[in-house]
Amino acid sequence: MIYSDLKISSGDDLAVDEAGQAQIVTDRDCIIQDLIHAIRESGYLVEMVAELNPDKRKLLLQEIALLVEDDERIVPGTVTITENAPAVFGAPWSWDLIADTYDFKDITLKLGA
């Protein structure tokens, strides 16, 4: 184990086990959790969901990629983000982010709804 942190649930609370003890997230999952929180805190994803202009969405995707590449555990130049258009009009957009880590090969994050 190289990295560890307290696991945060989807409701932004500490995740606990049956005994009420805080759960720990390690290594690859720790990196993913940290990146998801960094992206959420940046506000870029909220802007992406609201943005209709495709050129501005591309710029926001570049900002997200740069933010992820700033993490010292990510290999620079390896971040790719694929935009998934909604299948039904009015459905939410989503994005797949893939990046290489130095210690755990690639990671994949699902962004959006």
Query: pLDDT digit string (tens) for 38-83?
Result: 999 999 988 887 888 989 989 999 999 999 999 999 999 999 999 8
**Distance between CA atoms of 73 and 101, rounded to whole angstroms?**
6
0.75 surpassed by pTM: yes
pLDDT value at residue 90: 65
